[in-house]
Amino acid sequence: MIYFVTGNRGKFEEAKGILGDVEQRNVGYTEIQADSLEEVAAFGIEEVKEKLDGPVMIEDAGLFIESLKGFPGVYSAYIFDTIGNEGILRLMDGIEDRRAVFRSVLGYAEPGMEPIFFRGELEGEITAEPRGSGGFGYDPIFEVGGKTIAEMEIAEKNEISHRGASICALERWLASR
């Protein structure tokens, strides 16, 4: 059993779909303001492993839009809560280069071990308007192969997603031990 520290039910469901034996714990941790997802995850996992006894994981992710110089990036959650998908689409109005990448950094630790980190990325494009009713966050405006993440079933999303990639990397590491 791994404790996945997150308040985001969607993230938890993705992890459970891949790892199976995961329990959501919303004990919270400090999400520092930093220049990289790795720094945020490294700080958070140290705090989390002190709060819970057992294997723990956290995940930090961001949407990096090429034409906006990587914005919202490490501030993705705050920006989503502040301006939402509609605000991002307004920022993208009239911009032809709509390339973007979702990045995920997953931190994992067990009692007595130094944390390790797994990364995942998903390249796509920002749509002109939201599509689909599944997923969460930026999923309705992030398109891969003609379909937004919000138009995909969770199994299909897990096969290609940035978070799915980092969770699968953890799964492979656990299986190799």
| Distance (Å, whole) CA 166 – CA 106 | 6
Q: Is 97 a catalytic residue?
A: no
> DSSP readout, 90-116?
HHTTT-S--EEEEEEEEEEE-TTS--E
Residue 177: HSE in the Cβ half-sphere, 13 Å Cα cutoff: 5
Q: Pairing state of beta strands 56-65 and 99-109?
A: antiparallel
- Sequence letter at residue 26: N
Q: Indicate which residue of 60, 93, 97, 139 is catalytic.
A: 60
Active-site amino acid positions = 60
